[in-house]
Amino acid sequence: MVDGPNIADGHSRLNSADPVTIEKVGMRLVRLPLKEAFETSFGSINTRLIFLVSVEAGGFTGWGEVVAAEEPRYSYETVGTTYHVTRDYLAQALMAEPVTGLTDLSARFVPFKGHKMAKAGLELAYQDLSAQMEGRSLAELIGGSRERVPVGVSLGIQATLDALLDRVDRYLALGYQRIKLKIKPGWDLEIVEEVRRRHPTILLSVDANSAYTLEDLDHLKALDDFGLLMIEQPLDHDDLLDHARLQLELKTPICLDESLTNLRRAEQALNLGSCRLINIKIGRVGGYSQALAIHDLCYQRGIPVWCGGMLESGIGRAHNLALASLPGFTLPGDISASSRYFDRDVIVPEVMVAPDGTVEVPRGRGLGFEVDVGYIERRTEMAEQIVRTG
Ligand code: NPQ
Ligand code: MG
């Protein structure tokens, strides 16, 4: 449901010109090797199993990505749950009747509780399809104004401090405008202190992915000494109240990620003082309609937002670029170059970071990148198509 205060009904970003009958939904599980393991407070992965969805109508194919991981550690959704919900419920709802726009589509998904990442995947694919049909870029379609977006990098937990310092230097040399360190108890104060000592003026932040509780209050307060841009999701994945308590005790802004799953939660978090910054992930909040509404709310209230990342393939990455072109995205996003994670991406050209730490927002039709279907097929572990009946 889109009920954001700032969303004008009839705006083209929410309503397509003509109703679109979706004829087919494609589902593919594609495994991409990671260049190096990515470790967070909840675990480590070597490969990324990516769930790509496509929607077809009138000779066009729109592409979306479901950002769920293989295991329910970042959130409860997984590749398995999103596959099931997409195939058995959402695809049917999408194809049941012609779609008149994002508002219509997201309303059809409301009766199915939760499963935000699954819903978002189809919203992304539909939005790419709409953009292509209108001959516009995704960024144009949603009212994005930036031509380039500032980007940062998220650095996983490493085996040694030296390995981390090496990666910090490497990504700073590539131009990345902000370094985010993944932290957990035992990998926090010492590494942050050393990175800050070597780089006194960079934009530096940390992300705990819910590794702490209020019992760690004094420990977390010690992070205040390092001039961090933000501390991301230190407490429980679904908490607002403890974060509000913690924010009262910290000078450093808290940024919520996992806890903000829709517009209402974002509004409650701001009203409670649970955070001063917001990370928007289209997948986490259930699609473009909610992401746009949260952006608008924060823009209105003067709360800076940035685009989060989920180790997406180029398809999810292209959607993130479109989102980050909106005016409220003033902080560097976790939208790294394709080469930060993968030797080869599923789009052409791959996403590249310029020496000034920005990425160009594509202006071509739809995603603005070519989807490399041949490479996708070579990496596909499972595929299925659902065809509209009647
Ligand atoms: C975050 N991402 O901001 C997430 C967490 C994350 C770039 O730090 C597989 C799928 C592995 C999703 C690891 C970044 C993941 C994942 C980490 C998301 O909290
Ligand atoms: Mg995070």
Q: What is the pLDDT of residues 345-356, one digit of tens each?
A: 999 999 999 999
> Is the Cβ atom of 311 under 6 angstroms away from ligand 1?
yes
Please check the confidence at residue 194 and state whether its pLDDT lies above 60.
Answer: yes
Q: 74 C-alpha vs ligand 1 centroid, how far in Å?
A: 7
**Separation CA 21–CA 367 (nearest Å):** 20
Q: What is the pLDDT of residue 378?
A: 98
Range 277-282 average pLDDT: 98
- What 3-state DSSP class applies to 182? strand
Q: What is the pTM of this model?
A: 0.95
What would the DSSP string read from start to end of 223-271?
GGGG--SEEE--S-TT-SHHHHHHHHH-SSPEEESTT--SHHHHHHHHH
281 catalytic per annotation: yes
pLDDT classification of 18: cutoffs 50, 70, 90: confident
∠ CA 236-233-82, nearest 5°, is: 75
Nearest one of 257, 255, 205 to 229, comparing CA atoms: 205
The arithmetic mean of pLDDT across residues 87-103, rounded, is 97
217 lines ligand 1 (CB under 6 A): no
Ligand nearest, relative to CA of residue 156: 1
Own/partner long-range contacts of 195-200 (Cβ < 8 Å, ≥24 apart):
195/164, 195/165, 195/168, 196/226, 196/227, 198/165, 198/168, 199/168, 199/172
- Among 310, 335, 338, which residue has the most ligand 1 atoms within 8 Å of its CB, making it the best to mutate? 310
- Atom of ligand 1 minimally distant from the CA of 334: 7
Report the DSSP beta bridge partners of residue 8: none
Question: Per-residue pLDDT averaged across 71-84, rounded?
Answer: 98
Measured distance CA(51)–CA(56) in Å, rounded: 17
Q: What is the pLDDT of residues 284-304, one digit of tens each?
A: 999 999 999 999 999 999 999
CA–CA separation, 56 vs 382, rounded Å? 19
Residue 190 — φ and ψ, nearest 5°? -65, -45
